[in-house]
């Protein structure tokens, strides 16, 4: 369907209604892949649950348990965990849907460059999830350190699973932000210079996010998260600046409209 549309409309012009219809179709396809991944996640949930439960016991030193307060809570955490695993497993497919939605609006040359989005997005997202997995035990240990002596941590199962899922997905999405900046720059929505001007705010935001995601007296987890985020941001800035120079050269080499008209009149 997209190929047929491109043959009749090589420049990729679409009306607002067509944009909304395309977004709806891509969203449904992405949700279908997430549902399929969640079904697979349901079979993986038990071993994954055993893995995420071990740091709780280690961090609480035997004085912490995950509790199910209602009869339906075990089913709720099963669904939440399965969907979280499904989002991670299906990430190559729903990330492709984002790229496929943007593709018709790009020129042929920009389309070739945008393939880098697809090949970079998946490892970046999974890399963020992996770093969250490494930091997760340190975060629990730091948070449990505030428990008074003699007290026991009674963790609600649903809230605990929400914490684990949100932590990993937040890390994965945060690693996609620099890629989003590059994509917005390629589409002409933002310039590299404008991104450079906000570098102080970005550095502060990355450090604040890392401090909240990896609290505690040990600074290594915080810097382990902030360092790759900042590295990716400045790499994105460099790509945006290079792309701005290429765009400026193309516009400078392009003849002015008056010159084109004069040549056509000869």
Q: What is the DSSP string of 205-228?
A: HHHHHHHHHS-SS--HHHHHHHHH
Examine residue 266 and state whether it is found in any structural domain, yes or no: no
* Average pLDDT value for residue range 179-193: 78
Do 32 and 76 have their domain in common? yes
Domain boundary among 101, 135, 168: 168
Q: Band of the pLDDT at 33, cuts 50, 70, 90?
A: very high
Q: Are residues 6 and 137 in the same domain?
A: yes
Count the Cβ atoms, other than its own, within 10 Å of residue 35. 12
**Averaged pLDDT, 54-79:** 76
Confidence of residue 263 (pLDDT cuts 50, 70, 90): very low
225 and 120, same domain (yes or no): no
* Other CB atoms within 10 A of residue 232 CB: 22
Average pLDDT for 115-134 = 84
Evaluate whether residue 259 is within a structural domain: no
The number of folded domains in the chain is 2
- For residue 10, what are the domain limits? 1-168
Q: What is the pLDDT of residue 140?
A: 79
Same domain, 181 and 248: yes
Closest CA to 91 of 119, 114, 125, 115: 125
Q: Can you give the C-alpha Rg of the chain in angstroms?
A: 24
Q: What's the rounded Cα separation, in Å, for the pair 213 and 128? A: 12
pTM reported for the whole predicted model: 0.72
Residues 117, 82 within the same domain:
yes
Domain boundary among 145, 168, 191: 168
Residue with the bigger pLDDT between 108 and 43: it is 43
Looking at residue 81, the DSSP 8-state letter turns out to be H
- What pLDDT, on the 0 to 100 scale, is given for residue 202? 81
Length of the chain: 266
> CB of 47 within 8 A of CB of 88?
no
pLDDT above 80 (res 85): yes
In a shared domain, residues 108 and 22: yes
């Amino acid at each position: 369907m997209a190929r047929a549309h491109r043959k009749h409309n090589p420049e990729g012009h679409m009306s607002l209604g067509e944009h909304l219809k395309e977004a709806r179709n891509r969203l449904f396809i992405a949700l279908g892949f997430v549902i399929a991944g969640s079904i697979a996640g349901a079979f993986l949930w038990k071993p994954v649950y055993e893995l995420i439960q071990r740091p709780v016991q280690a961090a609480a030193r035997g004085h912490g348990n995950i509790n199910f307060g209602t009869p339906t809570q075990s089913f709720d955490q099963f669904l939440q965990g399965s969907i979280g695993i499904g989002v991670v497993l299906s990430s190559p497919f729903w990330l492709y849907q984002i790229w496929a939605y943007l593709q018709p609006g790009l020129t042929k040359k920009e389309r070739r460059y945008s393939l880098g989005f697809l090949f970079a997005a998946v490892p970046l997202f999974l890399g963020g999830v992996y770093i969250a997995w490494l930091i997760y035990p340190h975060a629990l240990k730091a948070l449990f350190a505030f428990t008074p002596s003699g007290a026991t941590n009674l963790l609600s199962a649903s809230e605990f699973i929400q914490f684990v899922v949100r932590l990993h997905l937040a890390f994965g999405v945060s690693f996609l932000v620099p890629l989003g900046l590059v994509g917005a720059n390629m589409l002409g929505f933002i310039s590299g210079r404008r991104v450079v001007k906000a570098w102080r705010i970005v550095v502060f935001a990355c450090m604040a996010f890392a401090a909240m995601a990896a609290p505690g007296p040990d600074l290594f987890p915080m810097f382990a998260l902030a360092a790759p985020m900042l590295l990716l941001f400045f790499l994105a800035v460099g790509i945006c600046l290079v792309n701005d120079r290429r765009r400026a050269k193309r516009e400078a080499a392009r003849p002015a409209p008056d010159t084109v008209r004069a040549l056509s009149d000869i």
